[in-house]
Amino acid sequence: MEEPQVTETGPEPQPQAQKQELSQAYWSLVWWKFKKNKLAIVGAILIFLFYFVCGLFAEFFSPYLVNYQSDHLESRPQPIVFKTPEGKFTLRPHVYGTVAELDLVQRKRTWTVDKTQIYPISFFVKGQPYKLLGLIPMNIHLFGINAEKYPEATVFLFGTDRLGRDLFSRIIYGGRLSLLLGLIGQALTLVLGMVMGAISGYYGGAVDILVQRLTEFVGAFPDIPLFMALAAAIPVTWSPILVYFMLTLILVFIRWGGLARQVRGLILSLREREYVLAAKSAGASDWRIMSRHLLPGTMSHVIVIATLMIPGMILSETALSWLGLGLRPPLTSWGVLLQEVSAVRVIRFAPWMLIPVPFIILAVLAFNMLGDGLRDAMDPYGGR
């Protein structure tokens, strides 16, 4: 037989260190898996940027105020160039100026790009006054044209609408309402869906039947007619903010059922787990079982579902506003912006008004990428 091998008696292995690492294992494993998913990271960064730029600091990032009407009606987008008025290359971005022309077909003045005028874009420039986060009075914008030096110049990167409002600024502002509606609406849906689902799944019996039938009833309701009826029912005298919250509530009302069903299913399966029986046999109250043992177990699943539901919320707002059933001017949301494109004339003569579309798509994709990444990382369907 062969010689027995002698192993090196090296330093004792350190099971302690490994155990320490395992202590936060679930969340650290989630994070580790999530990090590996590049798309999910991109999604998360995009969503962060969206909410940072649009949600919190829209006024700072946009060169104009949302309802500021310039006299440049339906101005074409002004491209950014990197050259000085003298025609030399520079790292500082400049914009071409615009010039009014008489359009004989439309019989009106239109603004087109004039390549002979070149204006430098200034950063942290003084502009129209606003209140940062609704509190701090400021007039600094991230970029813009130095109005003292070039009073005649404008910076309409995405052009303007029929009333001469800067589309770039309006997209940033519009994102605020659209994205916040997605977030607030989803949060409310989450609360309602979880409460109803948990009650239904935990108590079972008559309560369960009632909630189940209710979700089916709500789910079977045709959305658009319901909206038309509800929109008609909202008094015209209501302030736009109130209308906004009503719209959110309506969307929540229509969408909570799906989540409730999912939570109910999860609770039903968790309810039979032995640790729940153990808590019951120790005398735990219903509330304790629900809050300590059942709902935490559904969290990872619910977070994923909720993330994947936000795009639907945003798209619903867009669709409803576009139909004229949702938000109305003077409020600005992405749906409201698109509503202005509902005429063929606009698409024909001011195609830049479609620029909000890629932003909506990007936001929706970002949420989906994040949601998919979270699902793979948390893997609530199997695995652990």
Partner 1 sequence: MSEPLLEIKDVRVEFEVRDGIIRAVDGVSYTVNRGETIGVIGESGCGKSITAKAAMQMLPKPGKITQGEILYYRRDKFDPSRPTQLVNITKLDPDGELIRQIRGGEFAMIFQEPMSSLTPVYTTGTLISEALFLHRKIPVTVGDQMSQKIMQYRPVTKEEAREISIEMLQKVGIPKPHERVDAYPHQLSGGQRQRVMIAIALSCQPFMLIADEPTTALDVSIEAQILDLMRELQESVDMSIMFITHNLGVVAEMAKEIVVMYMGKQVESAETVSLFYEPKHPYTRALLQAIPKIGRRSGERLASIKGMVPDPFHLPPGCVFHPRCPSFMPGKCDRIVPTWKEAEPGHWVRCLLYEDV
Partner 2 sequence: MAERIATKSENIILDVKGMKKYFPIQKGLLRQVVGYVKAVDDVSFFLRQGETLGLVGESGCGKTTVSRTIIRLYEPTAGTAYFQTSLFSADGKPEMVNIFDLDKEQMKRIRREVAMIFQDPINSLNPRMSIFDIVSEPMVIHGVSAGPEMEETVVTLLERVGLRKEHIRRYPHEFSGGQRQRIGIARALSMNPKIIFCDEPVSALDVSIQAQTLNLLQDLQADFDLSYVFVAHDLSVVQHISNRVAVMYVGKIAELAYSDALYNDPLHPYTEALMSAVPKPDPKYQSERLIMQGDVADPSNPPPGCYFHPRCRYAVDKCRTETPEFRELKPEHFVACHRAEELKLKGV
Shortest distance, position 300 Cβ to partner 1, whole Å: 19
Rounded to a whole number of angstroms, the minimum distance from the CB of residue 1 to partner 1 is 6
d(CA 180, CA 172): 12
Residue 125: its H or E element: strand 122-132
Binding of partner 1 at residue 6 (CB under 8 A)? Answer: yes
**32 vs 124, beta carbon nearer partner 1:** 32
Interface of this chain with partner 1, residues 26 to 65, rule: CB under 8 A: 32
Q: Is 23 in the site for partner 1 (CB under 8 A)?
A: no
* Shortest Å distance, C-beta 203 to partner 2: 14
Q: Does the footprint of partner 2 cover residue 278 (CB under 8 A)?
A: yes
Which one-letter DSSP state was computed for residue 140? E
| 239 contact choice in partner 1, partner 2, none (CB below 5 to 8 Å, kind-dependent) | none
Q: How far is CA 200 from CA 264, 275, 294, 372, in A?
A: 6, 20, 13, 28
Tokens of 76: 């074409």
296 part of the interface to partner 2, by CB under 8 A: yes
Q: Which partner, partner 2, partner 1, none, binds residue 291 by CB below 5 to 8 Å per kind? A: none
**Binding partner at 282 among partner 2, partner 1, none, C-beta below 5 to 8 Å by kind:** partner 2
- Regarding 25 and contact with partner 2 (CB under 8 A), the answer is yes
Q: Which residues pair with 95 in a beta bridge?
A: 80, 119
Contacts of 41 (CB under 8 A, 6+ apart): 34, 35, 373
DSSP state of 63: S
Q: Which two tokens stand for residue 301?
A: 């699943």
Q: Which stretch binds partner 2 (CB under 8 A): 17-25, 64-72, 160-168, 221-229?
A: 17-25
Alpha carbons 170 and 161: distance in angstroms, whole number: 10
Of the candidate spans 71-79, 84-92, 275-283, 329-337, the one that interacts with partner 2 by CB under 8 A turns out to be: 275-283
Contact at 8 Å (CB) between 156 and 114? no
State the minimum distance, in angstroms, from the CB of residue 283 to partner 1. 32
Other Cβ atoms less than 10 A from the Cβ of 355: the count is 18
| Residue type at 364 in one-letter notation | V
Only one of the segments 7-15, 52-60, 80-88, 352-360 lies at the binding site for partner 1 (rule: CB under 8 A); that segment is: 7-15
